[in-house]
Structure 1
């Protein structure tokens, strides 16, 4: 049975708790997961979630029941369902990436410390939280690994029960696949996603996700072969024929990301009218 109960403080590992925000929806699933991580003198709030005073109050109540103050805020990325609630904790120090300028980000997020790949943050019991740069879903995406336990906070790089949207220009399908392959070399034993419940077989899940994306790429190539010189809006129905029509608008973003990857690999080309075709070798 799922333990995803909105607003409830749920322990998921020693020194790690989850609070589910009350923002369910088509893009957020059951809602955004916020996590509290114990340090020697306080709590790191990882992905504070949407700007919601009720959620902030539940996070604060959770911290009080743990008996530690929220002293730091860390984000996996700056989409508006992940970082805006940081503004409701003005005394906490903010750490994370800068937001890209694509019109889809939380403009209120400005870190006190810009994190980079390989940085580490101290946790309780001498453990560390390591930053892993995982661009793809968005260019500024980070995952965070608790090195002693192998618990990975995957944000929107991998979520439970669904694939994520890759929306250009800040999203990149090529970077996404590269980031997934990078995680295959990390000692990940449990995954705590930005949406959905814990992923208990993370390496299988990563491999399945890579295979799924490559199968979708094959469908893109097949559709270009059958329907050359078509815009994304014409291609989406055949490439995503296994997805409900009401989701085709969202699927078009990931389709464009696939096409841009193929263009970068000189396997597809786009003309001045944004019509896509295969590149014929030779």
Structure 2
């Protein structure tokens, strides 16, 4: 276990991949007698044992998850069985996309004892954990504030942009959640994957700008004649690791779905799209 600051520590699960970076980071919030575990991670025996060792003789107040992808929530069950602590956190969600997942599948067996809503709190040894609803990566995603530190789950990661895959992943909701974080005054982000973010406001502004730039790029490629997701990915992500193309395709689709809501593109088939004339372009003098 790695101490980060007073009341917050973390433990890395040994599940590295192109989507988890070095692995899922489990967080511990609390003091010498009580603790909350955030994102217990995958149900790997060695990781569950390491969590239990890190808890030690402390009371486990709650097992909390940011969302229910299988690299975040499955260990909640063996941890509850071992300690009797309740699972309190994001809502359950078991939704599969039309095709295979590009990142991690949903944990269909996740069963919280209590669901946290935006602004709800938990406390361990005087350290208060506050839920911050941030839908977008998934519709049930929560971040957690501890003072002026924010545990960001997969909403903001320290190494890569977040995957947004419809139908549950929603680009409009994701952008709204980024704007919500932009208006906060957090000092540091502790993501589930990658290093801590010491200049969170600057990173969030960059992420918003990056997504807006990607949207413009997709529209430009549509206007140039690209129609299907595969072609859009190849032209918008040149040199991308082939293993990451399905994830990029999901994000391109999420952008297109949001543009469709805005009447800026039209879906021609399941996988093909075309641009629509600008609403400001009336065709008259």
The alignment of Structure 1 onto Structure 2 pairs a total of residues equal to: 268
The aligned counterpart of 2:106 is 105
- For normalisation by structure 2, the TM-score amounts to 0.90
Structure 2 CA distance, aligned partners of 1:246 and 1:100? 26
Query: 1:41, CA displacement in angstroms?
Result: 4.8
Structure 1 CA distance, aligned partners of 2:6 and 2:95? 38
- List aligned pairs for 1:17-36, cutoff 5 A: 17-36=9-28
Query: 1:160, CA displacement in angstroms?
Result: 0.6
Query: 1:40, CA displacement in angstroms?
Result: 7.9
Query: 1:218, CA displacement in angstroms?
Result: 1.1
Structure 2 CA distance, aligned partners of 1:253 and 1:198? 26
The alignment status of 1:129 with 2:129, answered yes or no, reads yes
The alignment status of 1:253 with 2:250, answered yes or no, reads yes
SS at match of 1:183: helix
The aligned counterpart of 1:232 is 229
SS at match of 1:80: coil
The alignment status of 1:264 with 2:257, answered yes or no, reads no
Structure 2 CA distance, aligned partners of 1:243 and 1:21? 26
- List aligned pairs for 1:35-74, cutoff 5 A: 35-38=27-30, 41-64=33-56, 67-74=57-64
- Is the 8 Å Cα contact of residues 32 and 58 (structure 2) preserved in structure 1? no
Query: 1:31, CA displacement in angstroms?
Result: 0.1
CA RMSD of aligned residues (A): 1.5
- Is the 8 Å Cα contact of residues 99 and 105 (structure 1) preserved in structure 2? no
SS at match of 2:233: helix
Structure 1 CA distance, aligned partners of 2:13 and 2:243? 25
- Is the 8 Å Cα contact of residues 137 and 169 (structure 2) preserved in structure 1? yes
Query: 1:100, CA displacement in angstroms?
Result: 2.4
- List aligned pairs for 1:146-225, cutoff 5 A: 146-147=146-147, 150-225=148-223
SS at match of 1:84: coil
Question: Quick one: structure 1 residues 197 and 274, their matched pair in 2 at CA, closer, same or farther if it must change by over 3 Å?
Answer: closer
Query: 1:242, CA displacement in angstroms?
Result: 5.2
Query: 1:247, CA displacement in angstroms?
Result: 2.2
